[in-house]
Structure 1
Amino acid sequence: MSHADRSPSWEEENVPAAASPASTILSLQIGVIIVAALYFAREVLVPITVAVLLSFVLSPLVNFLRRLRLGRIPSVLIAVLFAIGIIAVIGTIIGSQVAQLTRHAPEYASTIEKKVLTVRELALDKISGVVEHFGYDVKSGQTSTTPPSTPRADSPPREQPAPGAQPSNPLALLEKYLSPVLSPFATFGIIVVVAIFVLLQKEDLRDRMIRLFGSTDLHRTTVAMDDAAKRLSRYFLAQLGLNSAFGLVIGSGLYLIGVPNPILWGILSALLRFVPYIGSFMSAGLPIALATAVDPGWSMAIWTAALYVVVELLVSQGVEPVLYGHSTGLSPFAVVVSAIFWSWLWGSIGLVLSMPLTLCLVVLGRYVDRLEFLDVLLGDRPPLTPVESFYQRILAGDADEAQDHAELLLDKRSLSSYYDEVALKGLQLAANDAERGAIGHRQLEKVRNTILGLISELSTYDDGHPPSSGEPPAGTPKDQQRIAESPPPKTILNPRSLSAPWQGERPVLCLAGKGPLDESAAAMLAQLLDKHGLGARVASYHEASREGISSLEVTGVAMVCISYLDIQGNPSHLRYLLQRLRRRLPDTPLLVGLWPADDEVLKDKAVQMAVGADYYVSSLRAAVDVCVAEAQKGSRPTALS
């Protein structure tokens, strides 16, 4: 077989070249260097990061105070002192509550010890009952005891530290005992000082960042920084208010249940809930343990656990989606992965800061081209448009996924809107790939069979507005929501009221163009016509070719609709096709559907006259409207709307 005779196949398709290995290796090296710098410089970076994020929280308060004409420096100082005061009050309350808790610790330990013994005896009774079935009595059984080991005579004696040995250097003593105490205060002081300077020089720092990263595109850089600032401020304030309310509800509930120190557990619950996903459950551990220690029974512990579960579910599933929506711009997967990554880098403080830090990375990826991969990996914006998602599914031959994708979209739009806005444009992508040789014959056949199967499965849907309204169903992927919606044709004809030529079983002939996927577009049009009271059948291009036009079945045909996904800027074969149809059906109106709306034929009246069709449309909805209007000519009082 010669090379010219070989038909292209899926295995022979050309795959676009990947990025150069040198560029990929360089990007990996830069990434490793950045991660290493974040890890080894964490002692410096963590306080600065916390200070910058704290400035986002205090910025609205500073702006409010400045609107009261207090001046920049007094406004910043008042806001920072207010934050320090709140932290001091919370610390004092926590300290007093912990001191009160420790006074009753022996009583709680005694109760827990009794419950442990009760549980152990119960477990032992259950185990002995099972083992007795095998002929062994656990309670009367003798267990061998191992005599205490005596040290071997030849083993060297262990060296004992000299009693009362202490470092003799006074500086070493100060470092040993004062360093753990002063280190948190030093870190807190750094955070406060940096936050003050960030708030004082906010505009200057913004201008410096613009000069550093985007002086050549001031608009884009300014929009990026404003977007990041608004998202972070909105996120922090919303989360602060929500977590405070969560702690208040938990504290009140624990007070009603009777758990000691409810104020402590309410504050702890509010603070730990800043940790994504697991924070509220971490905060539930100590109150449940304390309830177990206080109550001789188990009812208090059960009520405490139920309180946390119910409140967390109400907040996470009810309040947060309404309060946050998609304002943070992060996907759930990104939140989990970022929590793991930042906690590995910076420990517990990294776990708390993971969400805002990742949010900053997503904003950078949204506006900086070289960092776009961050927005794709971590953001909540759809990586594929609805059209691309449709094309990916039919390209893979996954009929079930394609149907599931279509059904989710059809919950909010009509069938004709889905075909026009998604399916036809997806077929255009496939036709373009087939034209440039990116899809082989076997793969093209798989695409054709998948789309025809999908059209058949969607035959149960009416072409009308779906009854559902409001927001998309929970769990609907975002790439199945953001598409335009055109209203469906309103008229549904009664065939018995039409004129004689239109009363046949299938008065409309949907003829496929010359392209490999034009028959699929013709099948969509035929299905929509049938749903609006006009029977239609699909014919292939071969049936209207020079060899097959004489045998084309035209009995009862009142109109011909020709579907083209692409005529490649050369309508000559379309003109010859229309000439053959004119000779075969001289008095029948001819409609040409050119689904790429920017085709030259749709814009140039001279070309349209040369081609010779009666109607030109660029959407299936328009094609249905034209056919319905033609059918209503000369009909009796007619349509069922």
Structure 2
Amino acid sequence: MPSLSSLPRLTPGSIVTVTCVLALLHFGREVLEPVALALILSLIIAPLINGMRRIGMGRLTATFGALLIAGIGVAGIGTILTYQLVAVTTELPQYRSAIHSKLEAVREMTEKPFARLEAELKAVAPANPAPAPKSNAEKKLVAGQIQPVPVEIRKPQLTTTETITRLVSMISGPVGETGLVLVLLVFILLDHESLRDRLIRLTGKGDVSRTIKALGDATEGVSRFFFSQFLVNAGFGIVVGLVLWAAGVPHAVLFGALSGVLRFVPYLGALVAGGAITLFVAAIDPGWTLALLCLAMFGAIELIAANVIEPKVYGHSSGLSPLAVMVSALFWSAMWGPVGLLLSTPLTLCMVVAGRHVSALEPVTILFADAPNVDEAHRFFHRVLAADVDAIVRDAKTFLRKFSFAKYCDHILLPGLALGANDFENGNIEKEQQNNIRATIAILAETVSQVLGGTMKKQKQRKVSMLDANVGAHLRQMRQKRLGRWQGPLDVPQRSIVLCAGFASERDDLLSELFVMALREVAVDARSISFGDNRETPGEDTANLVSTIFITYPLASMMDNWIPVVQELRTNLPHAIIVTIRLFSEENQADQSVIKKHVDMVLRSFEEGLAFVAPNRANRS
């Protein structure tokens, strides 16, 4: 996760740069719009060209073949839509009376409440004041002495030449822009490799690999997104058309195709399609039942497509969060109008992909990507600081359905706590947040132990007392309450107990207790002790019950006390294997080369510890 210091700072120069870019996008719309359209279309058609080249076709043949296929498809859909639209326009006069009656009914329903409100307000309002006296001119006008002069405005009759000129000017704009986009598209596709080499050359020799990776990600991301979107929208249009056809609505093909096409416009397209279908059905049907039924069916299909189908089909194809899609639609539509609205998603997607490789665009990726650039450990630490216990427990349960508790500790819990270890020790974290961290870890550990033990019941989470400053000691006391003084029976087979040991510190006790939980998950008889605890020991006869001792990896400041303790363990438990686990790099950890001289093995994770103790049942993953 990038730190705040690594992100670009807001300086006067950056503000001027952003302002210039926005001005260039706005005032350079006539030039940039066709170029952007051509570039996006080239990314969409590129997979088809690559597929045709893989079957042995040349670059030129594959390019024009792909353009021909795309052109035929667009022309076919356009012809069908045009034919259906002309048919609808021809039939509309037949429904004129129904439309008028519906409009009158709607007007009456909307005006009646306001008319009644206006009448009630007039009834309680004071009487109107006396009108001001009229001027002499007004008196003469009323008396008929001054007659108003009638004025008639006539539009000049257009000649044939003027009519043709106006028609050509109306058509030449869209047609000319379409032709320009096609020409640019052809040249971009034909000169694709040369353009890529030029972009790589512009970035310099030092960023070649990053530039190639960014171009590849952009091409793959946009292509995958549009392909997934095409599948979903095509299926959506087919389903809508079939539903309308089954309901007896004429021109169901037109409205099905219209629904699929308009869905390419984020959010607004579905609303327009649903509104158009509702209005048409209301015009052709004398009542309101069919119109409301079609609206309800369209809404149900849209909800299923948006909340069930799209998340499964898209996955991470779009790479954008829903909020990013909405914000990008507003921004690009304000810049470039309808074309910007249509291109908003692919343009923003390209910026998000580029932000993964270009530091200047990294804030765009952080704000608009489908998932923030935060791993599970960072997310856990953020939630711990915020005391969001419910979210932490929910995520932990989800993780433990697939993986072991040891893996959860190795990849999420311990790395997350390590992020704030230095701040915690130096007192940079507020006292309230420290208490929240301790309470959250204790609740999480108790909940996970219940889940692993199969005794999870619906109950309110117990608030851990703020006096429980040592979470590890608190967890050990809870286990002793459940299992007895020695955390389990002593009449067990020899060499069957695994002992987790450490100093009586918050760090060591927590690590020992977490590893005990990981071992007990795989049915290992694990127990824990703290050095310096002067309470009574089970006795010398129990020495042969311990097979392995996992001692916490020491800090450099504890080496003078740690070495004598390990030597004492060697003396008291001569048959036990002494192992330590170096979980993560701490600035003040002891030198590993020195530690190896005093233990039998140094491991790197809880999972390795489980594999060492119970190799046949170490991991559920």
Give the TM interval when normalised to the shorter protein: 0.7 to 0.9
- The DSSP-based 3-state class of the residue aligned with 1:196 is helix
Aligned to 2:214: 224
TM-superposition CA deviations, 1:394-436 (whole Å, max 9, x none): 2344433432332232232222221233222223333344456
Q: 1:374 to 1:153 in 2, by over 3 A?
A: farther
Aligned-pair CA distance for 1:589: 4.0
Aligned to 2:85: 98
Aligned-pair CA distance for 1:360: 0.6
Amino acid at match of 2:38: A
Aligned to 1:35: 22
Q: 1:190 to 1:535 in 2, by over 3 A?
A: closer
Which of 113, 119, 135 lines up with 2:100 in the alignment? Answer: 113
- The DSSP-based 3-state class of the residue aligned with 2:596 is helix
Aligned-pair CA distance for 1:282: 1.8
Which of 493, 509, 514 lines up with 1:499 in the alignment? Answer: 493
Amino acid at match of 2:493: S
Aligned-pair CA distance for 1:203: 1.0
Q: 1:91 to 1:397 in 2, by over 3 A?
A: closer
Aligned-pair CA distance for 1:362: 1.4
Aligned to 2:536: 553
Aligned pairs (5 A) from 1:352-431: 352-431=342-421
TM-superposition CA deviations, 1:474-519 (whole Å, max 9, x none): xxxxxxxxxxxxxxxxxxx9968723797xxxx7764443764222
Aligned-pair CA distance for 1:349: 1.7
Identity rate, percent: 32
Is the aligned partner of 1:46 residue 2:37?
no
Distance (Å, rounded) in 1 between the aligned partners of 2:61 and 2:612? 71
Is the aligned partner of 1:450 residue 2:440?
yes
Aligned-pair CA distance for 1:296: 1.7
Distance (Å, rounded) in 2 between the aligned partners of 1:69 and 1:17? 50
Aligned pairs (5 A) from 1:325-344: 325-344=315-334
Is the aligned partner of 1:536 residue 2:530?
no
Aligned pairs (5 A) from 1:574-589: 574-579=562-567, 585=572, 589=576
Aligned to 1:572: 560
Mean Cα displacement is larger for which, 169-178 or 308-317?
Answer: 169-178
Q: 1:218 to 1:76 in 2, by over 3 A?
A: same
Distance (Å, rounded) in 1 between the aligned partners of 2:150 and 2:208? 70
- The DSSP-based 3-state class of the residue aligned with 1:367 is coil
- The DSSP-based 3-state class of the residue aligned with 1:571 is helix
TM-superposition CA deviations, 1:199-238 (whole Å, max 9, x none): 1111111111111125323222112212211222232233
Aligned to 1:311: 301
Amino acid at match of 1:53: I
Q: Give unpaired runs (5+ residues) of structure 1.
A: 1-15, 138-143, 146-150, 467-492, 630-641
Distance (Å, rounded) in 1 between the aligned partners of 2:197 and 2:371? 29
Q: 1:197 to 1:256 in 2, by over 3 A?
A: same
Aligned to 2:242: 252
The TM-score normalised by the length of structure 2 is 0.76
Aligned to 1:637: none
Distance (Å, rounded) in 2 between the aligned partners of 1:39 and 1:607? 65
Aligned to 1:268: 258
TM-superposition CA deviations, 1:245-281 (whole Å, max 9, x none): 3323323332332222223222321210101234223
Mean Cα displacement is larger for which, 156-165 or 190-199?
Answer: 156-165
Aligned-pair CA distance for 1:125: 9.9
TM-superposition CA deviations, 1:15-51 (whole Å, max 9, x none): x995899753322332222122112211221121112
Aligned to 1:240: 230
State whether residues 390 and 405 of structure 1, in contact with CA within 8 Å, keep that contact through their aligned partners in structure 2.
no
- The DSSP-based 3-state class of the residue aligned with 1:593 is strand
Distance (Å, rounded) in 1 between the aligned partners of 2:48 and 2:426? 59
Which of 344, 351, 354 lines up with 2:341 in the alignment? Answer: 351
Mean Cα displacement is larger for which, 84-93 or 517-526?
Answer: 84-93
Q: Give unpaired runs (5+ residues) of structure 2.
A: 121-126, 129-133, 142-146, 457-486, 616-621
Is the aligned partner of 1:608 residue 2:596?
yes
The TM-score normalised by the length of structure 1 is 0.74
Aligned to 1:524: 514
- The DSSP-based 3-state class of the residue aligned with 1:330 is coil
State whether residues 355 and 364 of structure 2, in contact with CA within 8 Å, keep that contact through their aligned partners in structure 1.
yes
Q: 1:625 to 1:361 in 2, by over 3 A?
A: closer
Mean Cα displacement is larger for which, 61-70 or 188-197?
Answer: 61-70
- The DSSP-based 3-state class of the residue aligned with 1:517 is helix
Q: 1:96 to 1:595 in 2, by over 3 A?
A: same
TM-superposition CA deviations, 1:149-192 (whole Å, max 9, x none): xx987589999987336599999988766433321111111111
Amino acid at match of 1:291: V
Q: 1:176 to 1:120 in 2, by over 3 A?
A: closer
Distance (Å, rounded) in 2 between the aligned partners of 1:311 and 1:335? 21
Q: 1:498 to 1:205 in 2, by over 3 A?
A: same
Aligned-pair CA distance for 1:622: 4.9
Distance (Å, rounded) in 2 between the aligned partners of 1:511 and 1:422? 23
Mean Cα displacement is larger for which, 595-604 or 451-460?
Answer: 595-604
Q: 1:288 to 1:446 in 2, by over 3 A?
A: closer
State whether residues 428 and 565 of structure 1, in contact with CA within 8 Å, keep that contact through their aligned partners in structure 2.
no
Amino acid at match of 1:262: A
Q: 1:61 to 1:446 in 2, by over 3 A?
A: closer
Aligned to 1:619: 605
Q: 1:166 to 1:439 in 2, by over 3 A?
A: same
Distance (Å, rounded) in 1 between the aligned partners of 2:263 and 2:507? 54
Distance (Å, rounded) in 1 between the aligned partners of 2:562 and 2:21? 59
Distance (Å, rounded) in 2 between the aligned partners of 1:67 and 1:535? 59
